[in-house]
């Protein structure tokens, strides 16, 4: 069964949306820096409020001190499988912005929303090039800030593992059972016209 067979949309859409998922089994194959930079280039073109582009990324390639620093900020559960990734990327965003024509920074209410758009662009480009991504919320934000030298006015949202998809047999038994594309709620639970009629 292919990934597209396992995830069938109810309406016709581009296959990139159903074929992309978040495995945990990686081969450990080295990732060329140019390939990773192409993923960042895709993220660079994401939409943002007032074109403020608040997203920031700090990365480490496997086998480097930068990778080890990022890995150390993950909770033990995530360290167990993410250690085999080809790259780790911290997804960050600036909490303030300086509007055009002004000298003073002001709060950027949509910084997290915009960073999410940039992360999705990165994930889709990685998928397009034959790599997998898995974003993790299980990390120590304070440790990440300290180890990576992240300023106080920058928010940390996720750490993303990137690599080639590997054999799920490399994972613990409990994770092997979860190593499959998951499904989504129906549109009827997500979308309403004109007024909130949805479950929480």
In a domain, 171, yes or no: no
By residue count, the chain amounts to 200
In a domain, 51, yes or no: yes
100 has pLDDT over 90: no
6 has pLDDT over 90: no
Task: Note the pLDDT of residue 4.
Answer: 43
Q: Find the CATH number of the domain harbouring 44.
A: 3.40.109.10
Expressed as residue numbers, the domain containing 70 is 22-166
State what percent of residues in the chain have pLDDT above 90.
93
**Cα three-residue angle 135-136-140, rounded to 5 degrees:** 145
In a domain, 193, yes or no: no
**Cα three-residue angle 63-67-73, rounded to 5 degrees:** 140
Give one DSSP letter per residue of 25-53, joined into a string. Answer: -B------HHHHHHHHHHHHTS--GGG--
Q: Cα separation of 53 and 92, whole Å?
A: 11
Q: What is the mean pLDDT of residues 124-136?
A: 98
Domain count, the chain: 1
Q: What is the mean pLDDT of the chain?
A: 95
In a domain, 132, yes or no: yes
3 has pLDDT over 70: no
State what percent of residues in the chain have pLDDT above 70.
98
- Given a contact cutoff of 8 angstroms between Cβ atoms, the answer to whether 62 and 85 are in contact is yes
pLDDT confidence of 192, banded at 50, 70, 90?
A: very high
In a domain, 137, yes or no: yes
In a domain, 182, yes or no: no
In a domain, 4, yes or no: no
Model pTM above 0.75:
yes
Q: What is the mean pLDDT of residues 92-116?
A: 95
Task: Note the pLDDT of residue 59.
Answer: 98
- Per residue in 29-78, pLDDT (tens digit) is 999 999 999 999 999 999 999 999 999 999 999 999 999 999 999 999 99
In a domain, 8, yes or no: no
2 has pLDDT over 80: no
């Amino acid at each position: 069964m292919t990934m597209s067979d396992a995830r069938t949309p109810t309406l016709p859409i581009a296959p990139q949306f159903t074929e992309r998922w978040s495995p945990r089994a990686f081969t450990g194959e080295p990732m060329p820096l140019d390939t990773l930079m192409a993923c960042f280039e895709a993220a660079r073109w994401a939409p943002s409020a007032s074109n403020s582009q608040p997203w920031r990324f700090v990365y480490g390639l496997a086998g480097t001190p930068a990778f080890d620093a990022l890995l150390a900020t993950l909770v033990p559960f995530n360290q167990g499988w993410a250690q085999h990734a080809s790259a780790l990327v911290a997804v960050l965003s600036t909490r303030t912005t300086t509007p055009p024509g002004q000298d003073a920074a002001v709060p950027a209410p949509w910084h997290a929303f915009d960073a999410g758009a940039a992360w999705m662009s990165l994930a889709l480009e990685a998928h397009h090039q034959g790599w997998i991504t898995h974003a993790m919320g299980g990390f120590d934000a304070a440790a990440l800030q300290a180890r990576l030298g992240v300023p106080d006015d920058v928010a940390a949202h996720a750490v993303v593992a990137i690599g080639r998809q590997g054999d799920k047999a490399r994972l613990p038994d409990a994770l092997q059972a979860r190593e499959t594309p998951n499904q989504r709620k129906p549109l009827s639970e997500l979308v309403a016209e004109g007024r909130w009629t949805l479950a929480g």
